[in-house]
Amino acid sequence: MANTELYRELRKRCEGRLSGLRVNRYSYWSHWRELAQFILPRRYRWLVTPNQGSRGSQINQAIINNTGTVAARTLASGLHAGLTNPMTPWFKFKIDGYEDESSIVVRWLAECAKRMQRIFQESNFYNSLAILYYDLVVFGTATMLIYEDFENVIICYNPALGEFYIDVSARLEGSVFYREFVRTIDQIVEEFGVENCPVDIQKMYRDGGAGLTQERVLIHAIEANTRLGDKGYPVSPFFKFREVYWILGSANDEILRCKGYHEFPGLMPRWDTIGNDAYGRSVGMDALGDIKQLQQEEKRKGQGIDKMVNPPMVADIAMKNQPASGLPGGVTYVPGFGRERPGFAPAYIVQPNIAELRMDINGIEERIKRTNFNNLFTDISDLKTVRSATEIEARREEKLLMLPVIKRLDKEVLAPAVERTWAIMERANLLPKPIPPEVVGMLIGIKYISPFAMAMLAAETTAIERAWQFAGNISAVRPDILDNLDSDSTMHIYVDALGTDPRILHTDEERDASRARAEAQKQAAQTAQLAQMGAQGAQTLSQTDVGGGKNALESMLGGAA
């Protein structure tokens, strides 16, 4: 270790902050456990404990009816498809002042977006996003780390609920990330290098064998890269954030890795927040009461059917210790059968009204689905009659207004992911060359063109269409009304609003050249037509006899002379 005192001070401060984060998270931690129990049990760690032998055992025994789990999955899948659909572009880059879709700058930005989309496709970015959306819907808080990767440019990780702790800045934005997690000895050495590991881990690694599969608890911290008093900076102050790893319980001056970042290397979205809460509230929390009631009623319905089909029985005491059968076709010999008392009889008759119970369960399931906004994503399949595409889109746009989390996700998921990846591409020299001089020093913005974003922008394209339709109707009476509309500007604005690839449009120079060629061809055609008409007229005149041995053409030319 290069600087023992510096690392000792760093460990002291980080461990102190971790203790405070544990206290602040406790109430959410308990609530998450209940959410996991009834909705998503495999995305939660109640205790971070190494070398557990029961990880594969069944842990969702509280879930009898899985409507809550499926409804949350539908919402998470809908968000993924509506905001970050892997199959279609969902963002583009822009620079204020360069709205012309055919300019060199806009085309360069389009190529940048295309390359970034390819990186997202070839890495595990979209798989990790799917996990993030699911966590967010159920627990209200989710995280995803984005790191540089030699093979795929980026690689993403999703820490599970219960592993991580977060805190927010004065702007109420996620700025502190801590977590406790387990790794095997082999994984620790592969990640950090054997020379950076504590002595006991080095020995276990060199000995090999079963020791390589033993686990240790690691602590991971990402926070602002502040100065540690007179000890200095753990990493260069050139970096805005620092990341620290160490083994829980190791010597207080041992660090596995201390690294700096120019931008925060992860996402920490919340579904909804109150005040300065670090953790979010979720749809799963809203639906939890209904989900608990659903499990209870489903259990009672099963018990009622079971008692109705296979009720508890009473029998003559004389039958005690005698062979008896409750199977269809089985025979039980009963002393005194046919006299005053029968051999067997139900202890009590259970005849639950299954139909009414089923109706009540259906009502609870519907509430859970509506709480999870499932109707927003299943409109078409749920329609009882065929509707027009226009009506379906109108219904969908109306429901999008009930999903205000979209704007929060733009800020806490989409923008940080794109900005982080752009920075990694820039450092890896993966941006297209040459870079237009106009781009240097300019602020590059992000425009979202996902299905959700385009549904919200649909009003703009509809207004354009209505304006041209209105002008077209009036032009039947006043043709000069069309002089008020700029068709070139309309086309650029419309293409931009639709999020279409700008390369389908000609540049201004190409458009003007095309129009000049068309005009020249038109003039040449008119000239040829006039020449043909003149030749035909001369031929007619030359064939017209005006007397005196002359034709009309000779007479005209003679007169002209």
b/e string for 152-185 if b means 16 or more Cβ within 10 A? ebbbbebbbbbbbbbbbeeeeebbbbbbbbbbbb
Out of 240, 262, 282, pick the residue that ends a domain: 282
Give how many domains the chain has, as a whole number: 2
d(CA 135, CA 142): 6
Residue type, 150: F
Residue 90, number of CB atoms within 10 A of its CB: 24
Residue type, 554: E
End-to-end Cα distance, the chain: 112
The radius of gyration of the chain from alpha carbons, rounded to an integer in Å, stands at 37
Containing domain of residue 185, as a range?
Answer: 4-57+123-282
Q: Are 84 and 452 in contact (CB under 8 A)?
A: no
Q: What's the pLDDT score for residue 494?
A: 74
89 occurs within a structural domain: no
Q: Which of 538, 480, 418, 512 is nearest to 129 (CA)?
A: 418
Q: Per-residue DSSP letters for 398-412? A: HHHTT-THHHHHIII
Q: Would you state the structure tokens that stand for residue 115, as one six-digit string?
A: 């390359």
Residue type, 321: N
Task: List, in sequence order, every beta strand (DSSP E) within 8-58.
Answer: none
Q: Are 372 and 71 in contact (CB under 8 A)?
A: yes
Q: Per-residue DSSP letters for 368-401? A: HHHHTTHHHH-HHHH-SS---HHHHHHHHHHHHT
Out of 230, 253, 282, pick the residue that ends a domain: 282
Q: What's the pLDDT score for residue 560?
A: 46
Phi, psi of 334 (to 5 degrees): -115, 125
Name the pairing type of β-strands 545-547 and 241-247: unpaired
273 occurs within a structural domain: yes
d(CA 100, CA 220): 46
SS3 428: coil
Q: Are 182 and 160 in contact (CB under 8 A)?
A: no
Phi, psi of 107 (to 5 degrees): -70, -35
Residue partners of 275: CB distance under 8 A and separation at least 6: none
d(CA 471, CA 130): 46
d(CA 77, CA 98): 35
465 occurs within a structural domain: no
Q: Which of 263, 277, 271 is nearest to 168 (CA)?
A: 277
Q: What is the dihedral of CA 463, 467, 473, 476, to 10 degrees?
A: -160
d(CA 21, CA 473): 66
Q: Per-residue DSSP letters for 52-113? A: -S-TTS---TT-SSTHHHHHHHHHHHHHHHHHS-TTS--EEEE-TT---TTSHHHHHHHHHH
Q: Are 276 and 312 in contact (CB under 8 A)?
A: no
d(CA 417, CA 446): 11
Cβ contacts of 407-410, under 8 Å, gap ≥ 24? 408/269, 408/270, 408/271, 408/272, 409/79, 409/83, 409/269, 410/448
Out of 234, 250, 282, pick the residue that ends a domain: 282
441 occurs within a structural domain: no
Angle at CA of residue 340, ends 334 and 344, nearest 5°: 40
Q: Are 301 and 358 in contact (CB under 8 A)?
A: yes
364 occurs within a structural domain: no
392 occurs within a structural domain: no
Residue partners of 186: CB distance under 8 A and separation at least 6: 205, 212, 213
Q: What is the pLDDT along the chain (561 residues), one digit of tens a residue?
A: 457 889 999 999 999 999 999 999 999 998 999 999 999 998 888 788 888 877 777 777 899 999 999 999 999 999 999 899 999 899 999 887 776 655 788 889 999 999 999 999 999 999 999 999 999 999 999 999 999 999 999 999 999 999 999 999 999 889 999 999 999 999 999 999 999 999 999 999 999 999 999 999 999 999 999 999 888 899 999 999 999 999 999 998 899 999 999 999 999 999 999 989 999 999 999 999 999 999 999 998 888 888 788 777 777 666 677 676 666 656 666 666 555 555 666 656 767 788 888 999 999 999 999 999 998 877 654 555 555 555 655 566 656 666 778 888 999 999 999 999 999 999 999 999 998 888 888 889 998 888 887 777 665 677 777 787 887 888 888 888 877 877 877 777 777 666 666 667 777 777 778 878 888 888 888 787 777 776 676 666 666 666 666 666 566 666 544
73 occurs within a structural domain: no
